[in-house]
Homo-oligomer: A and B are copies of this chain.
Amino acid sequence: MARKSQGGITYPKGFLAGGIFSGIKSNGKPDLALIVSEVEAVAAGLFTVNRIKAAPVVLSQRRIRSGSARAIIVNSGNANACTGEGGMQDALRITEKVSQFLTCNSRKVLCASTGVIGRPLPVHSILESIPDLVSQVSPFKNLECAKAIMTTDTYPKETNVEIRCGDIPVRIGGIAKGVGMVHPQMATMLAFLTTDADISREALKSALQTAADRNFHTLSVDGETSTNDSVMILANGRAGNQKIQKGSPAYVEFLQALDGVCQKLRDLLLHDGEGASKFIHITVQGARSRTDAKKVASSIARSVLVKTAFFGEDVNWGRIMMAIGNAGVVVREDKIDICVGDVSLVHHGVGMGEAQEEKALEVMKGKEIHLSVSLGLGPMTAEYWTTDLTYEYVRINAGYKGRT
Binding site for B on A (CB under 8 A): 50-53, 79, 81-84, 116-119, 180-181, 222-227, 303-305, 308-309, 311-312, 314-319, 321-327, 329-331, 333-334, 336, 346, 348-351, 389-391, 393-395, 397-401
Contacts and interface: CB of A to CB of B under 8 A. Distances in A.
Given A222-B305, A316-B401, A397-B312, A50 B84 contact: no
A80 to B, nearest CB: 11
A181 B51 contact: no
Nearest to A228: B322
A397 B393 CA distance: 14
A317 B224 contact: no
Contacts of A390: 394
Given A82-B321, A395-B391, A351 B118 contact: yes
A397 to B, nearest CB: 4
B397 A334 contact: no
Nearest to A223: B304
Contacts of A304: 222-224, 304, 389, 397
Q: Is the interface of A mostly helix, strand, loop or mixed?
A: loop
B394 A394 contact: yes
A63 to B, nearest CB: 20
A185 to B, nearest CB: 10
Contact of A394 (B79, B324, B329, B391): B391
Contacts of A316: 116-117, 400-401
Q: When A and B form their complex, which 5 residue pairs have the shortest distance between CB atoms, in order from nearest?
A: A117-B318, A312-B398, A52-B325, A308-B397, A50-B325
A350 B391 contact: no
Contacts of A325: 50-53, 225, 227
Nearest to A314: B401
Contacts of A393: 308, 394
B118 A346 contact: yes
A324 B82 CA distance: 12
Contacts of A351: 82-83, 118-119
A334 B55 CA distance: 12
Contact of A82 (B50, B82, B349): B349
Contact of A333 (B82, B116, B397): B82
Nearest to A299: B224
Contacts of A311: 394, 398
A321 B395 CA distance: 21
B318 A82 contact: yes
Given A50-B325, A400-B314, A308 B82 contact: no
Nearest to A399: B312
Given A50-B325, A116-B316, A225-B325, 18 more contacts: A51-B326, A52-B325, A53-B325, A82-B317, A82-B333, A83-B351, A84-B349, A84-B350, A224-B303, A224-B323, A226-B322, A227-B322, A227-B325, A308-B394, A312-B399, A314-B398, A390-B394, A391-B395
Contact of A389 (B51, B82, B321, B394): B394
Contact of A181 (B181, B223, B305): B305
Contacts of A227: 318, 321-322, 325
B330 A51 contact: yes
Contacts of A116: 316, 318
A322 B224 contact: yes
28 contacts: A51-B326, A51-B330, A52-B322, A53-B333, A81-B321, A82-B333, A82-B346, A82-B349, A82-B351, A83-B351, A84-B350, A116-B318, A117-B319, A224-B305, A224-B323, A225-B326, A226-B322, A227-B318, A227-B322, A305-B397, A312-B400, A314-B398, A314-B399, A314-B401, A315-B401, A316-B400, A391-B395, A394-B394
